[in-house]
Structure 1
Amino acid sequence: KARQWGHERLLFRVIVLGDAAVGKSSLLRCFTDRPGGGPGGTAMPGPTVGVEFYSRTILMPPTGKAKLQLWDTAGQERFRSITKSFYRSAAGVLLVFDLTNRASFEHVPEWYHEAAGDRLPAFVLVGHKCDLVDERAVSAEEAGHLAATLGMAFVETSAHSNLNVELAFQTLAGGIQQALGQGILAPHQGCDGIRLIPNQSHCQPLAWRKPRKRCQC
């Protein structure tokens, strides 16, 4: 039986994947630093080394909230063994390619199959840098067809213009929430990709709380 989680406060672990230099860090910084804001003139971030972390709490209909714990991964091959270790504990995957770089689009199925494994998290395909119209190398129709083939939504974004950045992350959070309601994903304590965040007003007094085991991830 499906359970409604709309009134709970949840934590969703999200991993952002894709080739190097497709703009994963720019998207994350736009989403966490300029929520709902206009275009920004922030400097281009340098290459990610290993994994970097961001977070932001968003509203989830009808009345709940979700804290997104966002993992920014390095796209370079030499860091692949590090980033792979994070796949199994993610509830959602933002799969990013550069609309001006056809090779990054052609690598999407490889990233997808690598991240899906035997436990399928929620996915959203993101075509980034849509503001660079004259340099575009992948059509919206082609990218949309690939997304449909892989069973995921497709969103075109621009961190430079702050276009659809909010939509991409909200769409992924909605996909996680839907999988949660269908029982495909379930919240667990410890290192898994979805956790319930305790309501502080209902916590036991400090002296009566049981000690928690430390997460070994």
Structure 2
Amino acid sequence: MLSRNSSPEQTWKRCGENLVRYTPSGTYYVRARVAGKLYVKSLETPVLTVARQRLADELRKLRARATSAAAVRKGKMQVGDALAIYRERLKADTNVKQSTKKYYEQVVVALLRSWPSLAERDVQRISERDCREWASKFFREFSGTRANNTLMVLRNILEIAVEAGALYSNPARALGRAKLSAKELLLPSREQFIQFAKQIREAEAPFQRLRRFRSVRRVQRLSTF
């Protein structure tokens, strides 16, 4: 517990721009003013080097959120604004594995490469026809699984614009999923096949010796009659 005589200077220690340390616990906090609003949030670490790394991420999130909110207030929102919120939500979702987060970031990169002007487009100017034209090209170039996952990401990004009130309906919702082809049969190399056959022979050897022993014993019993 803090003493009633504790001053703010004793409780909080400035450790750099937008970074403060809560003295009683040693935990670092981001303290930043973004778009005229003061934000204070725990970085959940007492380690300075870790705090500085997390500080950069938190500032990026705060500024992206502020930019998106300002765009919505003006009645205009770019796809890039919705994308920033999508990335923020994905990164903060503790139910999603880190490997899955990396995969979907790769999906986002593939989406932006296949649709170069997408991030700068006003969400209200994205039509169902635009989405279908993108899908017709993308689905031909990528596997069904990658195509469907990329379509899902596009839908989720545009759905954020719908949630924000910047878009009436999601134009990507009308698109159908890509058909999944049968998985290719992956045959082992010659070296792998030889090693596999060797392992089978070695595993069967004890049983073969046992069968031969039983056969000999059977012959011996028959010869005694």
TM-score by length of 2: 0.29
Per chain length, whose mean CA-contact separation is higher, i.e. which structure has more relative contact order (CA < 8 Å, sep 6+)? 1
TM norm structure 1: 0.30
Q: Which has the higher helix share?
A: 2
Structure that is richer in strand per residue: 1
